[in-house]
Amino acid sequence: MTDVAQVRAAQAARTSYGRLVALLAAGNGDIAAAEDALADAFERALTAWPVDGVPHNPDAWLLTVARNRMRDRWKSADTRRTVAWDPDWHDPAHLDALDLDAVPDRRLELMLVCAHPGIDKTVRTPLMLNTVLGCTGEQIARAFALPAPTLAARLVRAKRRIKDARIPFQVPDVHVLPERMDAVLEAVYGAYAIDWHTTGTELRPALAGEALHLAETLAHLAPSDAEAHGLAGLICLSLARHPARLDADGRFVPLPEQDTARWDGELIRRGREHLRQAHGLRELGRFQLEAAIQAVHCARRESGAIDWVSLRDLYEALHGLAPGLGSATALAAVTAETDGPEAGLALLDRITDRTARFQPAWATRAHLLERLGRVAEARAALDKAISLTHDPAERAHLTARRTAR
């Protein structure tokens, strides 16, 4: 029973953390207190569930325990001595009226709180990833190339700011929403792509599913926002191919070699529909270009071939609009397919000074050097790529390539 309880508690942590934090903090904006109370609830679950059994509704159980923990904290003599009591702000009574069998989802409101103009714009996306989507400080620090202590300090300051400024948990009206949308879209994208900075392939299904849900919620909330549709389309089309990234034996399968019959046709349909809606709004953006790139890949399901020329044109547009290591590396890879490996390698050489820790650039360099017959250099680049790879399946794939050479 202990193992079952631990599995269910871990599952609740993965799928419900942000939802529960948002509910607990909605009344008073005290995100840190909500996180502490929820941590206590999870700790108690690991003690109680193995003895009493996993409750019918784990989320409701956790919410109830955390709510009571918050109430006890505010009733404590220490708190009464040090904090000016405001019943409209401090009392978690707003949770009493909740239907615990149908715990509502207020993550979107929490994301918009994190994107409030009163929050430093450099910490908005990390704050959303941490509080709403449950990414750890270490994961976020790695993705943003920041020291973990620096990021932790910024997160603490931002949470304190939300509490002290009493920023309300609500979806702002349509006149205010656009100014916060960019940060929210970046956070949802980050939730899906959090590990791409180091591997390019690793995917946590629960987190990716949350990102998809939130992206489509945002597209529904703001139907005239082209980038909201672009992001929803991008995640749909990317996730559609995920079932084929590993073969029956769990081995990594590079995208050009994947069995397209295993791709999710419904997700492809939804992604294309979001892309059509975005196109109709006549306002080009980064997420739409990335979605269009994924759509070209998914078109292989019908055509049986990859349209490398269209991919090169799209990556050129993307790199011009939103230049980054990822777009530069991908542009080099597709240019190698249209203009030869020398041309692709020349593009990679332009960003060499910035790719010391960027795994996709080293994996691409190894591939292009192999095609050029520069075996020793290819082997060195492959060793570097392997050293930077965290995804077990891709690491095994690269190691097998290295052994074969």
How would you write 226-282 as a 3-class SS string?
A: HHHHHHHHHHHHHHHCHHHCECCCCCECCHHHCCHHHCCHHHHHHHHHHHHHHHHCC
- The predicted model gives 239-268 an average pLDDT of 94
90-120 burial by CB neighbour count: b if 16+ within 10 A, else e? bbbeebeeeeeeebeebbbbbbbbbbbeebe
pLDDT, residue 195, reads 47
pLDDT at 304 > cutoff 90: yes
CB 152 within 8 A of CB 166: no
CATH annotation of 330-404: 1.25.40.10
pLDDT at 80 > cutoff 60: no
Residue 192 or residue 44, greater confidence: 44
Q: What is the pTM of this model?
A: 0.76
pLDDT, residue 196, reads 42
Q: Rounded to the nearest 5°, which phi and psi values hold at 42?
A: -65, -40
User: Using H for helix, E for strand and C for coil, what is the string for 73-135?
Assistant: HHHCHHHHHHCCCCHHHHCHHHHCCCCCCCCCCCHHHHHHHHCCCCCCHHHHHHHHHHHCCCC
Report the greatest alpha carbon distance in the chain.
Answer: 75
pLDDT at 111 > cutoff 60: yes
- pLDDT bin (cut points 50, 70, 90) of residue 309 is very high
* Burial of 192 (C-beta count, 10 Å sphere; 0-12/13-18/19+): buried
Residue 73 or residue 212, greater confidence: 212
Residue 316 or residue 222, greater confidence: 316
Q: How far lies 255's CA from each of 119, 233, 287, 305, 378, in Å?
A: 39, 18, 20, 12, 21
Q: Where are the domains of the chain?
A: 1-98, 106-196, 330-404
| Percentage of the chain modeled with pLDDT above 90 | 49
**Cα(145)–Cα(162) distance, integer angstroms:** 25
pLDDT at 194 > cutoff 80: no
pLDDT, residue 201, reads 43
- The predicted model gives 263-269 an average pLDDT of 97
- pLDDT bin (cut points 50, 70, 90) of residue 35 is very high
Can you say whether the dihedral through the CA atoms of 338, 344, 347, 353 is positive or negative? positive
